[in-house]
Amino acid sequence: MKKIKFSILLAVGVLMTFMMSSCTNDLNVTPLQQSILTPGKAFANDSAYTNFLAKIYAGFSTTGIQAVDNNVDIQGIDGGSQASYVRALWNLQELPTEEAMCAWNDQTIQNFHTFQWSSSDPFILGFYDRLYFQITIATSFLQQTTPAALAANKVSSAMQATIKTYRAEARFLRALAYYNVLDNFRNGPMVTDDSPIGSSAVPPYAKAPQIYAYISNELRSCVSDMLPPVVGFGPTYGHANQAAAWSLLAKLYLNANTYLGTSNTQYYDSCLTYCNKVINAGYQLNPVYQNNFVSDNYKSPEIIFPIVFDGTHAQSWGGMMFLMSSAVSGDIQSITASPGAWGGNRATQDFVAKFSNTAQNENASLDTRANMLYTGFNHPSIDDNSQFKQGTPVLKYSEKNSQGVAPNPAPSFPDTDFPVFRLADIYLMYAEAVLRGGHGGDLQTALNYVNALRDRAEGGGFTDLEIQLNQLTLPFILEERSRELFWECTRRTDLVRYGLLTSPNYVWQWKGGVKSGVGASSIYNIYPIPASDLSANPNLIQNTGF
Amino acid sequence: MKNLNAISTHTLRRWGTLLISLLFVMSLAAQNITVRGVVKDAGTGETIIGANVVVKGTTSGTITDANGNFSLSVPANATLSVSYLGYETVNLPVDGRTHLVINLKQSAVALNEVVAIGYGTVKKGDATGSVVALNTDKMNKGQATSLTDLLAGQTAGVTVTTSGGAPGAGANIIIRGGSSLYASNAPLIVVDGVPLDNNGVSGLQNPLSTINPDDIATFTILKDASATAIYGSRASNGVILITTKKGRLGQKIHVSYQGNYSVSTVGSTLNVLSGDQFRNFMDTYWAGNKTIPPLYGKTSTDWQKLIFTTASGTDQHLSVSGSAGVLPYRVSVGYTTQNGILKTGNYTRTTAALNLNPSFLDDHLKFNINLNGSYNTNRFADQGAIGAALQMDPTQSVMASGQYGAGYWMALDANGNPIKIGIANPVAILNDELNYSYVYESMGSAQVDYKFYGLPDLHAKADVGYDITNSNGNKTIVANSPMSWVWGSKKTGAGEYDPYHQQSSNTMLDVYLDYNKTFGINQLNAMLGYSWQHFFTTSWNATYYTDNTSIARQDYPAENYLLSFFGRLNYTLLDRYLFTFTLRNDGTSRFAPGNRWGLFPSGAFAWKIKDESFLKNVNWLSDLKLRLGYGQTGQQDIGGNYYPYIPTYNISPDINTMYSFGSTWYNLMRPGAYNTNIKWETTTTYNIGLDYGFLNGRFTGSVDLYKRVTSNMLNNLPVAAGTNFTNILPANIGSLENKGLEVVLGGNPIQTRDFTWNLSYNMSYNKNTVTKLTRVNNAEYGGIAGGGISGGTGNTVETTNIGYPAWSFYVYQQAYNSKGQPIEGVYVDRNGDGIINSQDLYVDHNGAPSVTMGLSSRMTWKKWLLTFTLRSELNNYVYNNVQSNMGFLNNSYDPSPFLKNILSSALTTNFKNAQYLSDYYVQNASFLKMDNASLGYTVNKYLTVTATVQNVFTITNYKGLDPEVQGGIDNVIYPRPHIFLIGASVNF
């Protein structure tokens, strides 16, 4: 009896031990989905590096890896509306200015024009997360493409040469994201090539001077590996070339004093150095102003670096779709052949006034740039902000082509690319740098550049809009920047540089939440670091006032 | 010589008679008679096999045979004591009778009832944890399409909220408040030993609806960790154990039929303006606007009336159980079909179940084999039609002849082109969208129980089980229909066909040893086991447009494994002091090797106070038991995220999200976010309970006090910017607490021969608080935002933050004027800094109730039966998104141009613009509902007929349509209909 008991128990014990050991290995699994690959398999093909680089670029255009705005990069907020680079950049750079006001009630969107935002603002959070997502994947790309990593993956030498350029481009794109951090937040977490991504280590806190220095060094060291400048469309369209890096450097130096809190003219010297490099690279002003913002603007000789959108292949509700659709209501949609008509953003009467005849701006009625302002609603004053038809729609971005023809059948998403840098901006930066005392340029050349813009603005080869040397002043440049670059996401930066963003001396309708416009606290010259990152990273310190 | 035969015969005769009489008397007294008899169930008339028939006061007795018969030799003046588990014992004096028919009544005293606990059973009286066994016969009767309907209001601490009144609608079951923030809050459901996979099935709103309620034998709910810890990794939210009905050995054929026919009617609908009211309103409000009057239609349409209808349904169920020789069996088939009150919707289900439980080798080897299958078809009526009906211009006619809209009216702009942000015609939504799903589901298990020879106290058991679903579905939107212009991302009038498929197959194996021994005053039960489970799922979907473009099919296969070792020790001393210890070690494939094993112990103590000598003679108290329990359970179910710790790259084949260099378009490859440190979330529960009973079990009840602390909480929260490939990552940061009280009291206040009244009341109070949320405590941090709403883009109204319940409403405080009317756009500056921004938002209640109550009543009078169930939730608040999105006046005109109807309440609220974040819309939704009321009549021993009403009435102050809203945000609910049923139940 005891023997039977014992042998049974022994048998059971053995059986169980056998089962245990053979099955615990079941707990090691790998993803079954075909498109999800472990690192070894992902880089088995050399072409994977191109796909990876394409994602870094695409992060500025679309919001995820599945249409439309699905499988998003940034979660927890509406992917298409808050974490899209172009849309977020536009909201943060245009809404706190005279150039735009939003009629919608989406969460805290009204706080931008009224200077009441806080550290828990979802739009600021979306932009911040998008920037750091770009920084992180660019850094990861660089970590995966070190010579050692490429050798370990047995990448062909031809591809290795191409990857050298890719690395330079990734560094440029990372610098662009850091530039946005510096310009909007000043301070923030710092991620570099040595940062251990995926670990629980938190990045250190960096203040503006450190971020500024990082951007400057990065761009200056990677630019030589980038593709040489290309004018117009070609097989490398979409890649950032050296002219893009020079343009970003020019902009960085023009604003350096603001970022660093100094007043050093040497930065303007550097700004002029890089402006000249771009100007000498062969870019030309597009004879038709409008053709920088049409569905075939990839042909424009003026655009230095675009963000690519496409009706079929690069679809997002944020991005160019937002720029076009938020600007029109259904009845004026056909003017720009916009795929959507959401009736949200339009300009204040103070922006429209920049195109009226004044002593500083003679013959303004000849300025064809003003043709983009739709006056048909005839109600330029925004009395009730919920009414889109009060205020002036800005029909800048168009789905029609350079011949004025709308596509048929009408696409669901636009094809127009977003110009990040164009020659006109470089001309104006040149002029401003000279006026601020920079060496490496002269006033007469600056005047010529500005007048070239104004001639183009009139069109037809006429010169009625040209100005005299004594009219070329810093205040004039500020206004001319608005007339030329409105709705291209630079206005806030320009106003901050001139010290006028929060000033009570430079107001527009509803600035600060009061109809006639009031000044706001100077803390609003920068955006707060989002509270959610402060709660995840104990190294960070919030910006003053928030 | 004298005559020695002088002993007189008379004396002899006298002595003889005396002797014989004595003998007779003696033999009479000692004389055994053979009593034969049959033991039956007093209610059903079925014979009872294995009932104990004992001579009272002795150990001599027998048990009834396969026909319920017994034969026993007993003294003629003996009293027989006849007993059987679950029935009241009957003491019957023999009185010289040789043939007896003994009827046993089902026991009102539940203490001897055997309830299921994990991997075993226990008598209710001996249970040490918080365990509730529901009597399925007495539960919610009448069109219980799924077992979630059976649960509502029946048990303290269990809330069931359906998503709405759609046929086959899904439901959330929450036991004692949700213990997880990001991981699943659903309890583990085990059917015949097979734990079901809770993750949703495409095409089937409620995966639990595939089990036919009439097949369910027992329904046990394990609430505290001392009861659930034996299930370790999946048990943090409670466990529901279900067993299906079986046949019995020797039972003669028993056929049972349940059927009903139902009619569902629409209750009330929301008030919107009629055509004429709308025209009047618009003319006044938008006076001076010249674009509006030309937009009016020529008629008056009540869109809600056009989309709702009275619907019918039926539920049929037939089962046969019996014993084919040594093979007891039960076979059942069922058919249910239910039309929805939203036109074109329908849910149909066919089920079949088979149970075999033979026993061999003289009960040393027992099998319990269950097979269950169902085929479900759905035609989904798109619930978007309800929201569209509320907003559709009431002056327009339904149909229109024109180039756009496929015959239905739709808004066109000044150029005659479709307005793409317009409202889709509700009637078109129901007719021109065809959405079907076909789901097969099957589950089965084979349970083996082997009793060792030579060691009868030791059993070896094994369970093998599977759960497979295969679902296919497709949605078609007709080309040029209003939806093809207004919905989706194309909006070009192209029709679309979206097929999808999902398949999941889960398999499991449990083996364990079970040992029982009583020695003296000690009783010991030990159990040791091993479990292996594999979950596999794959799905794909694709879209084909009529303009010859498509979104390619993408397959999403994934799997995970769970492995465990577990053991339990039950020790009872003097049959009064009970101790239970369990330990489970679970490993999951979801986490990295260093983090994947979790150890979950539990301990419980119970004291049967009533059995103590000082209470033995207190007759009015029939039961008093104290229970103390402690346990730790784990959670690792983070839904569709099967590989959160593995670094991967996702190379997307999507052709709409690419980037170009030159003229070449490239697919994108993105590194995936991952967390190598992710590990088990643990919930620790402390429970103290008291079970009591009065008047011989006439009244019973219990009180439980509990605290559940979730630590290392799986939380999807912001990761430090720059450290990973997304901004929000599941990590183990945070903790949550649930504290509560449950009270149950039930019994028969009236109990006479003809009239019985049984009442059962339960009440529970639960308070949920987040105690830790992020790595660093930042006072400015508003919490994790959630609770998306309709209206605007990306608006959220909820937050989870420290010191408050999870997912509380986070809104501005509305300012009111002296007349009590809200002042539009004016909010209280709570931090006094002069501006109204996100810092002025505050936490204003949440969607979970503080108190839930249920009351069931059952009255029988002769052959009549009247039952009803009441259910109440108190202090649950709902964000009325219908009012916030459709109740402001400027919404009536869109400059595209087109017109939208508004709620009648908008005229009272008087907001011109949307004020989504106002606490004006956070409304108290406390309610009292009568879930069902039923009248039944037992015609004869074969037939019972019933008439039932479901969703009888609702009493609430909530301003929306129905205060019972899943998730707390009312964004147009599918109205719950009143259902009238007539049914019959036949047994023979």
Q: Which residue of A has its CA nearest to B642?
A: A31
What integer pLDDT is reported at residue B212 of this predicted model? Answer: 79
Residue numbers of B between 57 and 96 with CB closer than 8 Å to A: none
pLDDT of the residue at B226: 76
Specify the residue for token string 């809209």: B405
B725 touches chain A (CB under 8 A): yes
Cα–Cα distance measured from residue B704 to residue B688, given in angstroms and rounded to the nearest whole number: 6
Cβ within 8 Å of A, B 910-949: 912-917
Place of tokens 């082109």: B417
Which chain A residues are closer than 8 Å to B547 by Cβ?
Answer: 409
CB contact under 8 A, B657 and A343: no
From chain B residues 648-677, the ones with a CB under 8 A of any chain A CB are 648-663, 665-672, 674-677
DSSP secondary structure string for all residues of B43-85: TT--B-TT-EEEETTSS-EEE--TTSEEEEEEETT-EEEEE-T
β-pairing, B784-788 with B796-800?
A: antiparallel
Rg value, chain B, Cα: 34
Of A28, A35, A51, the CB nearest to B589: A28
A316 neighbourhood in chain B, CB within 8 Å: 657
pLDDT at residue number B570: 92
How many angstroms away from the CA of B717 is the closest CA of chain A? Answer: 9
CB contact under 8 A, A412 and B490: yes
B294 in contact with chain A, both atoms CB, cutoff 8 A? no
- Amino acid of residue B687: N
Out of B654, B716, B723, name the one closest to residue A66 (CB): B654
Distance CA B899, CA B449 (A): 70
Residue among A30, A137, A331 minimizing CB distance to B897: A331
Confidence category of residue A422, pLDDT binned at 50, 70, 90: very high
Is B670 close to A39, i.e. CB distance below 8 A?
no
C-beta atoms of B662 and A190 within 8 A: no
Cα angle for residues B275, B280, B282 (degrees, 5° grid): 95
In angstroms, the separation between the Cα of residue A41 and the nearest Cα of chain B is 9
pLDDT score recorded for residue B68: 80
From the list A73, A230, A220, the residue with the least C-alpha distance to A136 is A73
Give the pLDDT confidence score for residue A13 in this predicted structure. Answer: 63
The rounded distance, in Å, linking the Cα atoms of A169 and A240 is 6
Which of B587, B651, B773 shows the shortest C-beta gap to A24? Answer: B587
Specify the pLDDT at position B39.
87
Question: Which of A18, A66, A162, A192 to probe the B interface (max B CBs under 10 A)?
Answer: A66
Inter-chain touch B561–A27, beta carbons under 8 Å: yes
| B599-632 core/surface letters (b: 16 or more CB in 10 A; e: else) | ebbbbbbbbbbbbeeeeeeeeebbbbbebbbbbb
Of B667, B725, B913, which is closest to A137 when you measure between CB atoms? B725
Reported pTM: 0.84
Q: Calculate how close chain B gets to A329, using CA atoms only, in Å.
A: 6
Q: How far apart are CA B934 and CA B932, in angstroms?
A: 7
Helix then strand then coil, in percent of chain B rounded to 5, is 10, 50, 40
Cα-based distances in Å from B796 to A60, A422, B70: 25, 38, 71
Buried/exposed B446-471: b ≥16 CB within 10 Å, e otherwise: bbbbbbbeebeebbbbbbbbbbbbbb
Half-sphere exposure of B518 (CA within 13 A, CB side): 6
For A114-158, write each residue's pLDDT tens digit. Answer: 999 999 898 999 999 999 999 999 999 999 999 999 998 889 989
Choose from B513, B537, B670 for mutation: most chain A CBs within 10 A.
B670
**CA A414/CA A404 separation, integer angstroms:** 15
Q: List Cβ neighbours of B591 (8 Å cut-off, separation of 6 or more).
A: B636, B644, B645, B678, B679, B680
B343 min Cα distance to partner chain A (Å): 31
**Chain A interface disruption, residue of B289, B419, B649, B800, most A CBs within 10 A:** B649
The minimum CA-CA distance between A117 and chain B, rounded to whole Å, is 6
Residue among A20, A37, A48 whose CB faces B648 most closely: A37
Question: What is the distance in angstroms between the Cα of A149 and the nearest Cα belonging to chain B?
Answer: 16
- Identity of the residue in B555, B667, B721 whose CB atom sits nearest the CB atom of A34: B555
Q: Do B659 and A331 touch (CB under 8 A)?
A: no
Residue of A10, A16, A17, A35 to mutate when probing chain B, most B C-beta within 10 A: A35
Question: B554, B660, B795: best mutation site toward chain A, by most A Cβ within 10 Å?
Answer: B660
Helix (H, G, I), strand (E, B) or coil at B902: coil
- Smallest Cβ–Cβ distance between B668 and the set A20, A51, A538 belongs to A51
CA atoms of A61 and A414, how far apart (whole Å): 12
Tell me which H or E stretch contains B906. helix B906-909
CA angle B923, B926, B931 (to 5 degrees): 135
CA distance to partner chain A, nearest, from residue B895 (Å): 7
Compute the average pLDDT of residues A433-438. 96
- Determine the distance from the C-alpha atom of residue B857 to the mean position of all C-alpha atoms in its chain, rounded to a whole number: 21
Q: Can you name the residues that pair with B873 across neighbouring β-strands?
A: B852, B927
Among B850, B917, B913, B852, which residue's Cα sits nearest to residue B887? B913
Minimal C-alpha gap between A481 and chain B (Å)? 30
> What is the rounded distance in angstroms from the CA atom of residue B359 to the CA atom of residue A34?
48
Which chain A residues are Cβ-neighbours of B796 within 8 angstroms? 107, 122
Q: Chain B window 544-573: which residues touch A at a Cβ cutoff of 8 Å?
A: 547, 551, 554-561, 563, 565
Q: Taking a C-beta distance cutoff of 8 angstroms, is the pair A348, A101 a contact?
A: yes
Q: Closest CB to A203: pick one of B720, B778, B781.
A: B720
Question: Are residues A55 and B836, on separate chains, in Cβ contact within 8 Å?
Answer: no
pLDDT digits (tens, 9 = 90+) for A328-367: 998 899 999 999 999 999 999 999 999 998 888 888 999 9
- Cα–chain-centroid distance for residue A399? 20
Q: How many C-beta neighbours within 10 Å does residue B112 have? A: 18
Strand partners, B936: B865, B946
Is B722 within 8 Å of A78 when comparing Cβ atoms? Answer: no
State the Cα–Cα distance between residues B725 and B674, nearest whole angstrom.
8
CB neighbour class for B396 (10 Å; exposed up to 12, middle 13-18, buried from 19) = buried
CB contact under 8 A, B895 and A128: no
Spatial distance between the Cα atoms of A460 and A454, rounded to a whole number of angstroms? 12
* Residue B572, helix vs strand vs coil: strand
Question: What CA–CA distance (Å, rounded) separates B270 from B986?
Answer: 42
Q: Enumerate the residues of chain A whose CB falls inside 8 A of the CB of residue B538.
A: 32
Considering only CB atoms, A111 lies closest to which of B774, B837, B895, namely B837
The pLDDT tens digits of the residues spanning A276-312 come to: 999 999 999 999 999 999 999 999 999 999 999 999 9
- The predicted complex's ipTM stands at 0.94
User: pLDDT over 70 for what percent of chain A?
Assistant: 95
Instruction: Phi first, then psi: give them for residue A294, nearest 5 degrees.
Output: -115, 175
Per-residue model confidence (pLDDT) at position A18? 58
Residues in chain B predicted with pLDDT less than 50, given as ranges, are 1-7, 25-29, 108-109
Is B735 in a helix, a strand, or coil?
Answer: strand
* C-alpha to C-alpha distances, B59 to B53, B72, B74, nearest whole angstrom: 10, 13, 12
